[in-house]
Structure 1
Amino acid sequence: MTNLLSIDDLIDSFTIYLEVNKNYSKGTVEVYNHTLVSLANWLKAARNVIYIENVTANDLQLYLGTLRHPNIINNSTSNKKHPKAGDLFEATTRARIISAIKQFFKWAVRQQYLQYDVSQYIENPKLGVRLPKSLSLQDAMKFEQAAAQRKSKERDYLITTMFLLLGLRVSELVNIDLLHFNNDEGTLTIIGKGNKERRLVITPKIIRALDNYRPIRYDILKKRNKVDESALFISEKRGQRLTRRSIELIIEEIAKEADVRANNNKVTPHKLRHTCATVLYNDGEGADLLAIAELLGHSDPKTTTIYTKINTEKMRKIVSSNPLEST
């Protein structure tokens, strides 16, 4: 065993491990770090525990019981009561937190900062099958039409088509550089999770949208004296690479202008990714699960089986609509 280090010190080392060894994205690393810092702060304040070897399974179980919605909505200036005040976080949220804690403890054992992993006794919450929230085919078409009418229509339409036709993650889209396109082959190289590359075929529709956007992009960069900028998607004001948040806001604005929602939920880049997969599976020709998994960059094809649930629900509605059902 090495000399004792505080949990705070180990979190710093674990964060570097996630960045350097696991190649996790910046956003994922920040989520892990925030989760573990919250745990460390609670252990220190509520249980007077500073070192990982003093943490018990009971400590972890008690901490999980504190994961509840606050009484007041965060960042609320009117002290508005949270609709789920005092309720436990949703099972999916608790599962993500437990996963981060378990990975941290397993790492500590491997690094010999800890002899025994007490986190193994913590059970994961039972997760119900949740259907991915997505736009209908008709609403996806309305969304595209709205994007094509915006002030920055060339850029925003290309963003929209790449989400809907390629099923990209927002982190993948913002990291695209112009040189990632191979015009001769008609392909696009995407840098996915864990810096894994995958090569996607771009469609004639995407190529047309890209050709329309290129001169607009060049004019912006020329005005800003930044013609060497490598990013595909740039801001009009500064000529800099768009951020994840910028993309999210653009998608929200387009959805509002198109007056569409994803299963009565706010439209986000991830829901456009789901839309791509569900439209392909339900309405595309010859799009089997393995092909969709490869397109989306799923490391485990089993992840893609969630889209088969859409078809089941579709069938359920059809069968239930039979007039004989109500006789």
Structure 2
Amino acid sequence: MNDALQDFIHYMIVEKGLAQNTIVAYERDLKGYIQYIQKVEQVVSWQEVKRSHIVAFLHHLKMQNKSSKTLARHIASVRSFHQFMLREHIAEHDPSVHIETPQAERKLPKVLSVAEVEGLLQAPDNTPFGIRDKAMLELLYATGLRVSELIQLDLADVHITMGFVRCVGKGNKERIIPLGRLATEAISTYIERGRASLVGKYTTNALFLNHQGNRLTRQGFWKILKKLAQKANIQKDLTPHTLRHSFATHLLENGADLRAVQEMLGHADISTTQIYTHVSKVRLKDVYKQFHPRA
């Protein structure tokens, strides 16, 4: 049964061209699914899989307190897998066809205030590592890049004189995002003074490097962010995505066009971007309640 999974993963990589993180998520979800139906439901071939087996698997996930978002993702993985097997004649039926997707909870993203962003941007010191950290934070807040996009940047992707950065996002879609003056200055300083110290004797095209002179990882950035948030005395639960959320919210609060923000964030569907308008409304209500004498 695992052979079909490997065929599916190969199809997703070669024909669909999905991002590495998406492939990893599909593979992880489907390995769990296969393990469950084999060990718990005693299924030995794809011809035996029934709708009840999938429902039992989803119930198993629910009993583990998985969120509706996680359940929806698993259903999407299982459905795509069974559709692939039917299409490739690995299986003769698709038991996932009538499985309903649960309504995902739409949680408002946590954002920083402008003052908190300023505090975070001032937290890095003047060492080569601090200069790198400052450049990364300025770039994230100036562009709304995902952290996965940030760490994949090469030197050639940042055009200082033209004032833009080129990145490849989800689905291998390329987008061009303008850079502000402060972000441009921070990146220039890092390339001239910080990166040269970090790269040492190594040769690499990666823009942001760790202490070994290699490309910085997501985990490495996460540790840096937690340390800087503590130094800036930010009490909120900060994640690498928080600056992306703050970028979008602050743009919309200052009158930016929703379509332009969608383009910069690289959202395929504008409904994904619209959640930031809800964040703005919530913040407006909070300000009203705090400052209006009759609130």
TM-score range, shorter chain: over 0.9
| 1:199 maps to 2:176 | yes
Give the share of equivalent positions with the same residue, in percent. 30
- Cα separation, partners in 2 of 1:95 and 1:200, compared to 1, 3 Å: same
Specify the code of the residue in structure 2 equivalent to 1:311.
S
User: Take 2:148 and 2:294, find their aligned partners in 1: how far apart are those partners?
Assistant: 49
Instruction: Give the alignment partner of residue 104 of structure 1, picking from 68, 74, 81.
Output: 81
Shift in alpha-carbon separation, 1:248–1:279, aligned structure 2, 3 A: same
- The equivalent residue for 2:201 is 225
Partners of 2:288 and 2:197 in 1: how far apart?
Answer: 55
Cα distance, 1:185 vs. partner? 2.0
1:295 aligns to what SS in structure 2? Answer: helix
**CA deviation profile, 1:68-91 (whole Å, cap 9, x unmatched):** 5xxxxxxxxxxxxxxxxx553111
Counterpart of 1:248 (choices 213, 219, 222) is 222
Unaligned runs of 5+ in 1: 1-5, 69-85
Matched to 1:301, the amino acid is: I
Query: For 1:138 and 1:194, how far apart are their aligned partners in 2?
Result: 34
Residue of structure 1 aligned with 2:162, choices 167, 185, 199: 185
CA distance in 2, matches of 1:311, 1:202: 23
> Which residue of the partner structure matches residue 210 of structure 2?
235
1:281 to 252, 277, 285: 252
- Could you tell me which of 144, 160, 170 is aligned with 1:167? 144
Q: Is the 8 A contact 2:135 2:183 kept in 1?
A: yes
TM-score normalised to the size of structure 2? 0.92
Coordinate RMSD, CA, aligned: 1.9
One-letter code aligned to 1:219: S
Amino acid at match of 1:133: K
d(CA) in 2 for partners of 1:219, 1:176: 18
User: Is 1:15 equivalent to 2:9 in the alignment?
Assistant: yes
Q: TM-score with structure 1 length normalisation?
A: 0.84
Mean CA deviation greater in 181-190 or 199-208: 181-190
User: What's the offset of the Cα at 1:37?
Assistant: 0.6
AA matched with 1:28: T
Structure 2 stretches lacking a partner, 5+ long: none
In 1, Cα distance between equivalents of 2:146 and 2:267: 11
Is the counterpart of residue 128 in structure 1 residue 105 in structure 2?
yes
Query: Which SS does the other structure have where 1:147 is aligned?
Result: coil
Following superposition, the deviation at residue 100 of structure 1 comes to 1.2
Matched residue SS, 1:198: strand
Q: How many residues are matched?
A: 293
Q: Judge conservation of contact 1:147–1:160 (CA < 8 Å) in 2.
A: no
Superposition pairs of residues 1-327 of structure 1, within 5 angstroms: 6=1, 8-68=2-62, 88-148=65-125, 152-215=129-192, 216-221=194-199, 224-226=200-202, 228-236=203-211, 238-262=212-236, 265=237, 267-282=238-253, 284=254, 286-317=255-286, 324=294
Is 1:36–1:100's contact at 8 Å kept on the other side of the alignment?
yes
Q: 1:317 to 1:214 in 2, by over 3 A?
A: closer
Name the aligned partner's letter for residue 280 of structure 2: N
Deviations 1:10-56 (A, max 9, x none): 11111112222222222221111111011101111111112222111
- Determine the C-alpha separation between the residues in 1 that align with 2:40 and 2:198: 54
SS in structure 1 of the partner of residue 123 of structure 2: helix
Q: 1:12 to 1:49 in 2, by over 3 A?
A: same
What is the CA–CA distance in structure 2 between the aligned matches of 1:252 and 1:26, rounded to whole Å?
Answer: 25
